[in-house]
Amino acid sequence: MTGTQKSFTERMLGAAMLDVDTYEEVEHDEGATGQAAAVVVIVAICTAIGAVGAGGAGIISRPIGSLLTWVLWSGVTFLIGTRVFGGTATWGELLRTIGFAQAPGVLYLSGVVPLLGGLVGFAAGIWTLIAGVVAIRQALDFDTGKAILTTLLSVGAVMACLFALGLALGVPLAIIGGLSN
């Protein structure tokens, strides 16, 4: 990590490019939690706009659901990563790194383009998942194998929670959380 701090835009680009130094920087910058939340909201708005033609969740409900999902994903990841796999991180470090890992999701905006939008959205989802692995690996300070397992278990647990909540409330999963982009 260098002595100079990257700008918000540089951090988003660095996170999207899977730059380890960017993840280390946001992990250790306690003031970057608000920036991480901003990334989540920006991506949620891009997702909502991209899904408008398909009856998307809306410009208001998507950011709220995405923020709640981000907090839940970070918390579940903290529990699995530290308790099951012995990683070392605080919940705040995971909030920051996982928040910035959402950066590739700005491509969900392409959903307004027929056919191409779906392909780009699928690629952005995979890219975001990979960024999540890098974010989790860096925050929890363990190897890639443990990061992949932690990511899969935590995403699975969050999806199960959102599915159960959606069933209980009679609300589609897409309205509740941001992982179902």
pLDDT value for 49: 86
Phi (first) and psi of residue 133, to 5 degrees: -60, -45
DSSP state of 114: T
Q: What is the mean pLDDT of residues 9-26?
A: 97
By the 8 A CB rule, do 44 and 155 touch? no
The torsion of the CA quartet 171, 112, 39, 164, rounded to 10 degrees, works out to 20
Predicted confidence (pLDDT) per residue in 31-85, tens digit = 999 999 999 999 988 888 887 765 555 667 777 888 889 999 999 999 999 999 9
pLDDT exceeds cutoff 50 at 181? no
CA-angle at 59, arms to 56 and 61, nearest 5°: 80
Mean pLDDT to the nearest integer, 158-167: 87
115: tokens are: 């056919």
Q: How confident is the model at residue 169 (pLDDT cuts 50, 70, 90)?
A: confident
Contact 22, 39 (CB under 8 A): no
Percent of the chain with pLDDT over 90: 65
